[in-house]
Structure 1
Amino acid sequence: MLFKKKIQDCVIIGSGPAGYSSAIYAARADMNPILITGFQPGGQLTTTTDVDNYLGFPEGINGNDFMKNCKKQAERFNTKIINQSVNHVILSNKKGGTHRIFLDKKKCIESRGIIVATGSRPKLIGINKEKKFMGLGVSCCATCDGFFHKDKDVAIIGGGDTALEEANYLAKICQKVYLIVRKNYFKASKILQYHIYKKNNINILFCSNVTEIIGDSFLEGIKIFNKKKGTTQTVFISGLFIAVGHIPNTEIFQNELELDKRGYIIVKKGKTMTSKPGVFAAGDVQDPDYRQAITSAGTGCMAALDLEKYLSLYE
C-alpha cells in the first residue's frame, strides 16, 4: 500500500484551478494535501492560449503558464503531487470514515477527506483540425475567448441553451455571428430564442453541419453543408465556438456518489458537500452553468474550508 497505510486527511483528485485552489487552502490549514493530477494535468486551461479574464492579470496570461503558476504555488505550501490517474474509488458511508482511492491494483491511498475536482470536457463534433486548432481559433467557451474576436465574424455550433447564450453574447461584440444548428429547430428555451431572433447580426443556419475547417496553422474559415438544400457554402471567420455540451469527468464516481441526469456531482446548495460524508466536489465537475476558471478556483477554496470544518468534528 502507498504511504505505508497512513490515513490521510485530504486527497484532491484533479489539477485544474479548483484542484490547485483547494490544495493551497488545505495545505495552509495543515491538512497535508495529496493532489492526483489525472489524465490532463492542469485541466482544460492547458489547451487555452490566452486567459484574459482572470482577476489579477491585467495583461492576461497564457493558459499553460497560468496552470504552471498554480502548481508552483501549491508546491510552495508542500502539497504532494502525484502525476497519475485514479482507477477507482471506494467511498465510506460513515461519518468520519475512511475512503479508499486506487491508482492501480496495488497502489491505494486511504483518506478521511476527498475533494473531487476532476472537471468536465467539451463534447466535440469530430471533424478534422477540430482539436489541432483548439485555442487557435476553435474554442468551447465564448465567455473565455469571445473578446479576441471583437468586431470580427464568428460561428457557433449548437442549438441548445448554451449555444444561444453564447450567440447572444458574441452578437454584442462581433460583427457577424453564424449560428449553425444541426436540426431544423432550436432545443433552447423560448426566451433565449426570442432574444436571438431580435439580433440583426446573427445568421441562423438550420439543418446544417460544419464539414471542414479551413486553415493551415490556425482557423481561417469553415465549410457548411445544408442537408435540406443539399448545398455547401464557405464562410471566412476568425472564431469557431463549439457549444454542443460538456461531459463531466465522473465515470469513477457513478456508483459511489449521487449524480444528476447529466452526470454532474450533486452538492448541497451553496456548499460543496456531496452525498458521502467527507467527500466534497469543486469546479466544473459540479457546475454545469458557469464553467469559468475563477468560479472553479472559488469552489476549490470552499471545498477546502468545508473539509477543514468536517475534519474538526471527527478528530
Structure 2
Amino acid sequence: MEIRDLAIIGGGPAGLTAGLYAARAALNTVLFERGMPGGQAASTERIENYPGFPEGIDGPELAIKMSEQAQRFGCEIIYSDVDKLERQEKGFKITYGENELLAKAVILATGAKPKFLGVKGEKEFHGRGVSYCATCDGAFFRDGTLAVIGGGDAAVEEAIFLTKFAAKVYIVHRRGELRAAKILQQRAFDNPKIELVWHSVLEEVKGGQKVESVLLKDVRTGEKKEIAVDGVFIYVGTEANSNLLKDLVELDANGYVKAQEDTATGVPGLYVAGDLRKKPLRQVVTAVADGAVAVAQVEKYLSSLE
C-alpha cells in the first residue's frame, strides 16, 4: 500500500493552506478534494475582509490562487471523495473509490455545509427554485423576485449580490433586527431592490414545476401571508461535514469537532482545521490559520515517530 507522510482531506482555505505549508516543509503530502478547490469561499461572490486585498477579491479567484500556490510547491491534489478513514497501527488507511493509501498523519479540513430548514416544499423544489448559493444560481433569476431567508452575514451578503440579477429581493428574518455586520446592514437598507420582512419565518415553499411563492408566518401574531417569488435562497447556518470522523473523535450537536486550538483531536496523528473545528469564528482568515497550525503540529508528531 502506498504510504504518505500526510493526507489532507478537504480543499478549502484550511486544506489548501495546510497543503502549501506541508509541501514547503518537504512532507510527502496528498490533498483530497471532492469538487472544485476553495470550499465555501469559492461560492462567495466577493471577499472583502481577507488581508492583503484592499479592494476585495472574488471568492473563486482567491480559491484558484490558493490552489495554484499549494501545487507550485509540490502538493499533489487528488479530485475524489474519501469514502473511509480508519485508524491503524502505523497511521490511517484512506479509502477513495477502489484505491487505498496509508498516511502517517491526517488533517481533516472538510468544512461545513448549509443547513436545511426542513419546511414543506424545500426538498421538493431544491434545484427548481430553492437554492443555498447565490453565486451558483443567482443568474438564473434575472429580473425575477426572490426571497432570502436569514439575517446573518451570509444572508445579507447574498441578498445584496442577488440584486445584480433580480428586480426584487425580500430578506425574511425571524427577528426585528439583522445579525449581519453593520456595514452589510447599511448596504441592504440603502439598496432600493431589497425589502425587509421582519419577525417572519418561512412556513412553506409553493409552486408547480418550479417555485411560485412562499408562505410566511409572523412569529408574534401567527398571521400568515403568501408572497409571489421565483426563487428562495436559504441561509440559516451550517453543519459540519464530519461523517468520516464520527467513530474517531468527539463531536458536538452540529457535528463540529471539539479539537484544541492547536488543532489536535486527541487521536495521535489526527488534526482538524477550518470550519470543521468547533470555534467562535468561521472565516477564511481563521481557516488558513488553522491549516498552518495543523501542519506545524504534524511536523512535531512525525518527528516523534522517528
Task: Say yes or no: TM over 0.5.
Answer: yes
Query: Which amino acid is 2:223 matched to?
Result: K
Q: Please tell me the residue identity of whatever aligns with 1:285.
A: L
Q: Which amino acid aligns with 1:155?
A: I
Query: Paired residue for 1:303?
Result: 294
Classify the secondary structure of the residue corresponding to 2:239: strand
RMSD: 3.6
Give the counterpart letter for 2:21 in structure 1. Answer: Y
Query: How big is the shift at 1:271?
Result: 1.3
Corresponding position: 1:68 with 2:59:
no
Kindly provide the amino acid, as one letter, of the partner of residue 74 in structure 1.
Answer: A
1:85 aligns with 2:52: no
Distance 1:146 1:235, change over 3 A: same
The alpha carbon displacement at 1:204 in A equals 2.9
Partner of 1:259: 251
Matches within 5 A, 1:30-45: 30-39=26-35, 41-45=37-41
Aligned residues of 2:8 and 2:31 also touching (Cα < 8 A)? yes
Q: Report the more deviating stretch, 35-44 or 66-75.
A: 35-44
Measured after TM superposition, the shift of residue 35 of structure 1 is 0.3
Instruction: Judge conservation of contact 2:257–2:272 (CA < 8 Å) in 1.
Output: yes
Match among 98, 103, 112 for residue 120 of structure 1 = 112
Q: 1:7 aligns with which of 3, 8, 18?
A: 3
Distance of aligned partners of 1:121 and 1:279 in 2 relative to their CA distance in 1, 3 Å threshold: same
| Map of 1:180 onto structure 2 | none
Counterpart residue type for residue 251 of structure 2:
L
- CA 168–132 in structure 1, closer or farther in 2 if over 3 Å, else same: closer
Residue 272 (str. 1) matches residue 286 (str. 2): no
Cα displacement (A) at 1:210: 6.5
Q: 1:211 to 1:289 in 2, by over 3 A?
A: farther
Distance of aligned partners of 1:99 and 1:54 in 2 relative to their CA distance in 1, 3 Å threshold: same
Tell me: CA distance 1:230–1:241, structure 2 relative to 1, closer, same or farther (3 Å). closer
- % same residue: 29
SS of the residue corresponding to residue 111 of structure 1 reads strand
How has the CA–CA distance of structure 1 residues 112 and 156 changed in structure 2, closer, same or farther, with 3 Å as cutoff?
A: farther
- 1:115-169: per-residue Cα shift (whole Å, max 9, x none)? 000000011443542328622386989446746849x98625457xxx9633877
Task: Tell me the distance in 2 between the aligned counterparts of 1:77 and 1:140.
Answer: 40
Alpha-carbon deviation of 1:251?
Answer: 1.0
**2:217 equivalent to 1:226:** yes
Question: In 2, are the aligned partners of 1:257 and 1:275 still within 8 Å (CA)?
Answer: yes
CA distance in 2, matches of 1:223, 1:291: 30
Partner of 1:286: 277
For residues 26-57 of structure 1, give each alpha carbon's deviation from its aligned partner in whole angstroms, at most 9, with x where no partner exists: 11111121000124543122222222222112
User: 5+ residue gaps in structure 2?
Assistant: 139-145, 164-168
C-alpha deviation, 1:263, in angstroms: 0.9
Asked if structure 2 preserves the Cα contact closer than 8 Å seen for 1:43 and 1:119, the reply is: yes
Question: What TM-score, normalized by structure 2, do the two folds share?
Answer: 0.74
Shift of residue 232, structure 1, vs aligned partner: 2.2
**Letter of the structure 2 residue corresponding to residue 66 of structure 1:** L
Residue identity in the other structure for 1:257: V
Tell me the secondary structure at the aligned position of residue 50 of structure 1: coil
Distance (Å, rounded) in 1 between the aligned partners of 2:272 and 2:48: 26
Separation in structure 1 between the aligned mates of residue 262 and residue 296 of structure 2, nearest angstrom = 10
Indicate the SS of the match to 2:19. Answer: helix
1:47 matched to 2:43? The reply is yes
1:24 maps to: 20
For these two proteins, the number of residue pairs brought into alignment is 271
The structure whose residues are more often strand, as a share, is 2
Cα deviation, residue 61, structure 1? 2.0
Is residue 2:202 matched to residue 1:155? no
Aligned counterparts of 2:27 and 2:150: Cα–Cα separation in 1: 35
| More displaced 10-residue stretch of structure 1: 114-123 or 57-66 | 57-66
Gaps of 5+ in 1: 178-200, 214-220
Q: Distance in 1 between matches of 2:133 and 2:186?
A: 24
2:173–2:197 Cα contact (<8 Å) kept: no
